Chain A
């Protein structure tokens, strides 16, 4: 099933490119963070597609493990980025009010 593997990985590449576009074009920080997450999801897609080794053989566990680790790192990095963004917004509002 080379076609299914290509479509799955290709969809990941499309997500990667779209996320990169959104990250570069949109101004608000929240949209940039979401865009980076979409980019990461695209990378995970590609890694999962690469792990496929044909119907006869079991999938390659190494990319699977990398994705598993990557998801947790992405979540924690997103949480930190969101908090930094919230603090930045608070600081901006404090600057503007007095």
Chain B
């Protein structure tokens, strides 16, 4: 008799708590909306945007977002790459990766062999276009990471990444190149990450290329979800399929589905 009553009281209390939370959060939402509305109606305050556009010609890039990320607030981006690396180290510290998925069938394998090269080429385009239009290291890195996810889903236990030793270099490439460029500039008398305008474009491109590789590798490695399996792990993911030779086309030719002549 007492147990159901206690249960009832517990559910009642949790319902009361939910109601209280709902009221408080509604109040918070209304308050935030009011502040936002007042801020919108307050009109144009002095903003960083004017300064950002004014100094754009000396940043080495024409895209203001890239200028903010890699020039004005370069420290921010360096630390952000460090955060990405730290998150991945945390994932690796939690143990080995779960086993890969089963080997993909012919249709998925053919699609992967089309989509992954396209993603890599688009990533390279994104990296270059970031200098003067929307694009840059983050978008390019996200595309590379997506390519890794697709490769992993298609059965590669390492998501297309190399072995652990090489993977470590890929993962630290962003932070490493970023820091080396900053220290190099210091050695030549400029401040840490204060690019001379004549060199700015190429230094930014160098940093962004390294950052693209690092972001893409980190996202794909995070999707793998643990320390990468060693080279001998490769057959274990497909050992069941390996018993039936008909289903293991290691590199299946693309079927003639291409609509172009």
Interface residues of A (CB under 8 A from B): 2, 5-6, 9-10, 13-14, 16-17, 20-21, 24-25, 46, 53, 57-62, 64-65, 68-69, 71-73, 75-77, 79-80, 82-84, 86-87
Contacts and interface: CB of A to CB of B under 8 A. Distances in A.
B219 interface: yes
Contact of B49 (A13, A16, A53, A71): A53
A79 B26 contact: no
Nearest to A90: B95
A75 B218 CA distance: 11
Contact of A79 (B44, B64, B68, B91): B91
Contacts of A73: 80, 83-84
A76 B68 contact: no
Contact of A76 (B29, B49, B87, B226): B87
B52 A62 contact: yes
Contacts of B40: 2, 5-6, 9
B76 A79 contact: no
B49 A69 contact: no
Given A6-B40, A79-B222, 12 more contacts: A10-B33, A13-B33, A20-B25, A53-B47, A61-B52, A61-B67, A68-B65, A76-B218, A77-B83, A80-B87, A80-B90, A87-B95
Contact of A83 (B26, B33, B64, B94): B94
Interface of B: 18, 21-22, 25-26, 28-29, 32-33, 36-37, 40-41, 44, 47-49, 52-53, 64-65, 67-69, 72-73, 76-77, 80, 83-84, 87-88, 90-91, 94-95, 136, 138, 141-142, 215, 218-219, 222-223, 225-226
Contacts of B218: 76
B87 A79 contact: yes
B246 to A, nearest CB: 35
B84 A69 contact: no
B90 A62 contact: no
B221 to A, nearest CB: 9
Contacts of A10: 33, 36
A62 B33 contact: no
A79 B94 CA distance: 12
A80 B91 contact: yes
A14 B29 contact: yes
A22 B218 CA distance: 29
Contacts of B21: 21, 24-25
A9 B52 contact: no
A80 B225 CA distance: 9
B84 A76 contact: yes
Contacts of A84: 90, 94
